[in-house]
Structure 1
């Protein structure tokens, strides 16, 4: 999860470096737009290949052989295990907007993902007054996922060290596709349960954007600063470009 936050931060800040180097690059007939585009395309390569030097794993696709998670929420608690987990689509983004405000030290961005989807086998063991156990295959997709937001940052006057002040992310989703097997032994009930999941996830994302923005900022800002450590903005760009 920490790697995901760092990746999101790098993507947003790639435009910042573009703004800062745009003037000297103009002498080489390279426009501001081309600088941003190159940074974003280079970041796509980081998603596909990772950056071992900086501890960023391959995220497109992201694979997990086997993992289990415990959860507890009110009366519901249990364990869910996944095997053959594969997350696709993080590198298939369209850049809608990348705007840099050097005076206020912030970047505004908007990206659209055609489909961010998960394929896996699952094993669910849940207790809610009675034991509920299910297992099977699963496919789950967020389609036409839109991510817009803003990253505010500061740079040390002498050290040049990068610090994130806040991260605001406002997501919305066009469609949710849930195909989870064996939620019920009856096919018609299984489809209805998947429809309930689709509606719940859609409403949760689209009707709670302000809450998500506040929660992400609270959680992600200290994590990103911890991951950045003593790195400068140039170091962050080195992650994007593979050191070039």
Structure 2
């Protein structure tokens, strides 16, 4: 209890300055997270993320220019641990994290998918459905922006708010089958995926940010609900050792 109070007081003193940093503590934290993604972190409710595997995943999302509903069976996502940070800053006063991260290659595969899609492309609406094998690669998928971390209380969980992140994509590759139950449609859509995904992501930053926020923030908050404010802040500013393990836990 005394140690917790000392950490909390130290954090209050640190927050009087606006220091932004991407120092050894943050670098070590990102490298630890890269390794830990291969094992998950069951004590904090984090599943294995490298690769991420889900026996069944439902999708139901809609933005102004894109809607998708359906499910994936035996979904595998690879490449999440290949991230590269070019910027990572923590603001002690505003409790804001600013970052610029790139994923050189993310692979999404499913032994069976069932999707209904409604989208707007080149000013026109179109719809399609698919039921087959899903295979998609995202090349140089970049995210940059900021979000705020707020404590529920000093000793209970924290949560993410004010998500303001822009996403960019250099290239997409698709070898998905079963589109409109037609090989011709499947070939056409796979050829279209490259241009369409680049347009969808790069030219619709607001809608894509909203979609990714709905995908990422809720599970992130579930995990952060198990982390006390003084713990996460102490890790970020490097005040204490021993909160995170020194090597991955498997």
TM-score when normalising by structure 1: 0.67
What does residue 173 of structure 1 align with?
169
Instruction: List runs of 5+ in structure 2 lacking aligned partners.
Output: 1-10, 16-20, 119-127, 236-240
What does residue 123 of structure 2 align with?
none
More helix, by proportion: 1
Q: Is the 8 A contact 1:118 1:141 kept in 2?
A: yes
- Aligned partners of 1:177, 1:123: CA distance in 2, in Å? 17
What does residue 197 of structure 1 align with?
193
- Aligned partners of 2:79, 2:242: CA distance in 1, in Å? 20
Among 97, 105, 112, the residue aligned to 1:107 = 97
Q: The residue matched to 1:86 in structure 2 has which SS?
A: strand
Count matched residues.
Answer: 211
Task: Give a deviation string over 1:172-203, Cα, whole Å, max 9, x none.
Answer: 10001111124367655532221223322221
- Aligned partners of 2:93, 2:152: CA distance in 1, in Å? 15
Q: The residue matched to 1:197 in structure 2 has which SS?
A: helix
Among 226, 241, 244, the residue aligned to 2:244 = 241
Q: The residue matched to 1:203 in structure 2 has which SS?
A: helix
- Aligned partners of 1:172, 1:78: CA distance in 2, in Å? 20
Q: Is the 8 A contact 1:166 1:217 kept in 2?
A: no
Question: Where do residues 154-233 of structure 1 align in structure 2 (5 Å cutoff)?
Answer: 154-155=150-151, 159=155, 162-183=158-179, 189-214=185-210, 224-225=220-221, 227-229=223-225, 231-233=227-229
Question: Where do residues 53-132 of structure 1 align in structure 2 (5 Å cutoff)?
Answer: 53-65=43-55, 67=56, 69=58, 80=70, 82-124=72-114
Q: The residue matched to 1:48 in structure 2 has which SS?
A: coil
What does residue 134 of structure 2 align with?
138
**Alpha carbon RMSD of aligned pairs, Å?**
4.1
Instruction: List runs of 5+ in structure 1 lacking aligned partners.
Output: 1-16, 22-30
